[in-house]
Structure 1
Amino acid sequence: MSAETLATTARSKQAFHRDFRVALAGQQLARNASVSTELAAVDQLFTDWHERGVTRFVVLSGFWLDLLDQYVARYGPVPVDICHVDSVQSPSFDKAGASTLPVRHVWLADARSGTLPCSIPVTRDAPLAWPARDHRLLVHGGGWGMGTYREHAAELLAAGFSLDVVAYEQQDLSTDGVRYFMIDPDWHPWLDDGYPPFAEAGAPFVQRTGHHGSFDLCRQALATVSKPGGGTLLDSLWSATPLVLLEPFGPHEQRNADLWISLGYGIAYEDWQRKDYSLDVLEELHAALLTADVPDYSRALL
C-alpha cells in the first residue's frame, strides 16, 4: 500500500484504540484494502514469489485474495489455504467478495460444529500448572488495543487482583496498582520485521522470537480479560489460560466468545462478576483447557 494509506491506517489504529465506538463504526465502513495497493510494488512482489518458487499460499486475510487472483492469472494455479483464525468468516473475507481461486478452507475454530478442527501452536512448551501461576490477570485489547478492557481495571483491583495491563499509548498509564506493559508505538506490522517489540513500561523494548511478548504474561496469569479476538483464543488454548470475555469487536468475535464459553474455556465478564470473581471458576476453565487435544495445522502443511 502507498505511504499515504499506511499513514491513514496508523491514524485509524490510534482512533480505534481511544474509542471503541469509533472502532465498531469503522468496521462497518471499511473497504477492501487491496484496492489501495501500488501496481509497481505488487508487480515486484509477484516476481519475487515466482522466482522463489512459492508452491502454496496460506491466506489469513481476505484482502489478499484479489492479489492472488491476479498472481494465478499471470503464473498459473497454486494451492491456496484460507486459514480462518476466527470461528466464522471474518469481515476481511466478506469485504473481499467472491474469488475464482480453488481454495481449501482451514478452520482453527469452528462455530458451526462447536469444535477446534486444528490450531497453530504459539509454543510447544507445556502450560504452567495452576499452583505455579501468579495471582494476576492479564488485561488487554488485542493487537490494536481495542475494547472496553480499561474500564474494568478499577473493579478488578477492588476485587483483590493484581493486574498486568497492555498499554498502547503513554496516556494509558494512569491507574495506580497496575503493572503496565507496552508494544513499541513506532512499530507497525507492515515493517515485516518479526514480533512487535514489547516491554514493561519504562524499560527498553525487546523483540521476541518464537512468540509475541505478551504471551509470557498470559502463561503466568490466572485469566486473560479481553475481547474475543482470534489471536486471543490461540493464546488461551496454548497457555491453558481461561478467557474472561469482554464486549466483542463485531458479530464474528461474538461467535468466538460463544464457542469458547460452550467449550468450557471462558466466561463472560458479567457472569464471572456475578460469581464474585471466583478463582474456582477460573481453575475449572483452566482444567478444561488442559484436556484440549487439537491437531497441529503446521504439521498438516508439512
Structure 2
Amino acid sequence: MNSSPVTLLASGNSFGAYIPAMHLHSYLQGKGVGTDVHVLENLYHEEIRRKIRSTKKAFHADFSVARMGHKLAKPVGPSLNDDAVGRLLDAWMRADAYRFGVFTGFWLPILERYKAAAGRPLDIKLIRLDASDTPSYKVHKQLYPGYDNVWFYQPSKLSPDSYIASDEAEPLPYGQRVGRIMIHGGGWGIGTYAETIRELRALGRKLDVIVYDPSEVEEDDGVTRYFGTDASWEPWIRDTQGKHTFPPMIRYVREDGVLREYPLGEYSVYTDLLRNCAAVISKPGGATLNESLAFGIPFIMLEPFGDHELHNSTYWESCGFGIRFAEWKARDFSEHHLEGIYSRLLEQRLKINHFGRNMYAAENSSYV
C-alpha cells in the first residue's frame, strides 16, 4: 500500500460520519499509513458548538422533532469560524496534504477552497455509506459530482463492494455467538427503539441496550445489559496527545436504585460485543449497515430517519442482509431466519475486501 499520508474528514454531528472514519484511521495506521483525522465541529463558532448537545436532547426526546430537523438541513457555512478554517487550510498547504477521505458532504465548500489554493491535483474520495444522498450531500448537489464518489451501496448493484473496520478479522461463526441482540438508536439515540426494548424484554430476549442517557437504565433483571458512551466525551475534543478517539464505552448496572458504571476500556471490547451478537436492532443508518456487513450481523431495521435511511432499509432488505422489525415480528421473532441472513452476509463478506486495502494504493488513485 502507498504510504502517503491520508487526511480523514469526519463530523461529530453523526456517529455515521465519525465511527467509520475512526475505524479507517485505525486500519490505515496499522498498515503503516499516516493519517490525520479532522472533525468538522472544531471549525464551528463556539456558541454553535455549545448548542449541539441541546439539539441532540431534543431529537432524542421526540422523533418527530428529529425528522423536522433532518428536513431543514442547510449548508454549515454560517456556523464556521473563518479564522479556524483559514488556519486549517494553511496547515494543509504546509503539509502538502493531497489525499483525503471524506465522510460528510458538509466539508465540500472547505475542500473547494483548498482545491483553488493547492495548485496541484488532489486525491479526494467521498465515502458514501448510504444508499442515497444524506442531508449533507443534498445541500451540495452542485458540488459533489465533481469528486470521486465511492458508493458502498448502489441500488442497481445488490452486492456491496467493501466494508470498513479497524481490522480484517473474519465474522464470528453464528453458532459460536452468545445469542444476544444489540439494540440502539444511533449516536443521537433517536427512533422507535425504546418501545422495541420493552416489547422484547417482555418476551425474555437477551438484550444489549445502548442507551443515550444513563437515566434509561432499568433495574438489573439478570438478562438485559446496558451500555453507553461516557457523557463527558465529545467527538471534537482531542485527547491529551492531540488525537481524536473512539467514544469511551461504559457498562451500566442499576441495583436497588443505585447506578454503577464500569468502563469497558478499549473500544475493541465494544466491537467484540458487536461481533458476538445474534442481530442488531436500530434505525437503518449507514454506519450500522457497515457494521452489519463488517461483522456479519443480521440487521433488524426500525423506522427510518429521513429518505436516505428509507433507501438504506430497502437496499439492505433487497440484498437479504436485514429484515424490518414488523416483518421479523410477523415471523414470530424467528432465530432461524436470522441465521439465514447471517449466511448471506457471510457469503458476501467472503467476496469482498476491506475498503482501506486498496483505497489509497497508488495504482488506484484518482484525481480531481
Give the TM-score taking structure 1 as reference length. Answer: 0.93
CA 1:45–1:198: 2 relative to 1, 3 Å: same
In the alignment, structure 1 segments of 5+ residues that lack a partner are none
The residue correspondences of 1:91-170 to structure 2 (distance < 5 A) are 91-99=135-143, 102-170=146-214
Determine the structure 1 residue equivalent to 2:28: none
Given that 1:224 and 1:244 are in contact with CA atoms closer than 8 Å, whether structure 2 keeps it comes out as yes
Supply the distance in 1 between the matched residues of 2:180 and 2:163 (Cα, whole angstroms).
26
CA 1:95–1:282: 2 relative to 1, 3 Å: same
**Deviation of the 1:175 alpha carbon:** 6.2
**Deviation of the 1:176 alpha carbon:** 5.2
Determine the structure 1 residue equivalent to 2:229: 183
The residue correspondences of 1:191-210 to structure 2 (distance < 5 A) are 191-192=237-238, 193-201=244-252, 202-206=260-264, 208=266
Q: Which amino acid aligns with 1:256?
A: N
Higher RCO (CA 8 Å, separation ≥ 6 residues): 2
CA 1:100–1:248: 2 relative to 1, 3 Å: closer
Supply the distance in 2 between the matched residues of 1:27 and 1:45 (Cα, whole angstroms).
28
Given that 1:139 and 1:226 are in contact with CA atoms closer than 8 Å, whether structure 2 keeps it comes out as yes
The residue correspondences of 1:279-298 to structure 2 (distance < 5 A) are 279-292=335-348, 293-298=351-356
The residue correspondences of 1:78-93 to structure 2 (distance < 5 A) are 78-93=122-137
Which of 55, 58, 63 is the equivalent residue of 2:106?
63
Determine the structure 2 residue equivalent to 1:264: 320
**Deviation of the 1:44 alpha carbon:** 0.7
Supply the distance in 2 between the matched residues of 1:186 and 1:96 (Cα, whole angstroms).
33
Q: Which amino acid aligns with 1:195?
A: F
Pick which of 154-163 and 144-153 moved more. Answer: 154-163
Supply the distance in 1 between the matched residues of 2:263 and 2:198 (Cα, whole angstroms).
27
Give the TM-score taking structure 2 as reference length. Answer: 0.77
Measured against aligned partners, the alpha-carbon deviations of 1:152-181 in whole angstroms (never above 9, x if no partner) come to 112112333111100111221136532110
Supply the distance in 2 between the matched residues of 1:20 and 1:100 (Cα, whole angstroms).
29
Measured against aligned partners, the alpha-carbon deviations of 1:134-167 in whole angstroms (never above 9, x if no partner) come to 1311001112211111111121123331111001
Given that 1:141 and 1:147 are in contact with CA atoms closer than 8 Å, whether structure 2 keeps it comes out as yes
Q: Does 1:53 align with 2:104?
A: no
Pick which of 291-300 and 136-145 moved more. Answer: 291-300
Q: How high is the sequence identity, in percent, across the aligned residues? A: 34
Supply the distance in 2 between the matched residues of 1:111 and 1:228 (Cα, whole angstroms).
15
Measured against aligned partners, the alpha-carbon deviations of 1:67-108 in whole angstroms (never above 9, x if no partner) come to 011111222242221110111121101113412884111012
Pick which of 158-167 and 197-206 moved more. Answer: 197-206
CA 1:100–1:129: 2 relative to 1, 3 Å: closer
Supply the distance in 1 between the matched residues of 2:176 and 2:100 (Cα, whole angstroms).
40
Determine the structure 1 residue equivalent to 2:366: none
Give structure 1 regions of 4+ aligned residues with deviation exceeding 6 angstroms: none
Supply the distance in 2 between the matched residues of 1:41 and 1:172 (Cα, whole angstroms).
37
How many aligned residue pairs are there?
A: 300
Given that 2:284 and 2:309 are in contact with CA atoms closer than 8 Å, whether structure 1 keeps it comes out as yes
Which of 29, 32, 37 is the equivalent residue of 2:75?
32
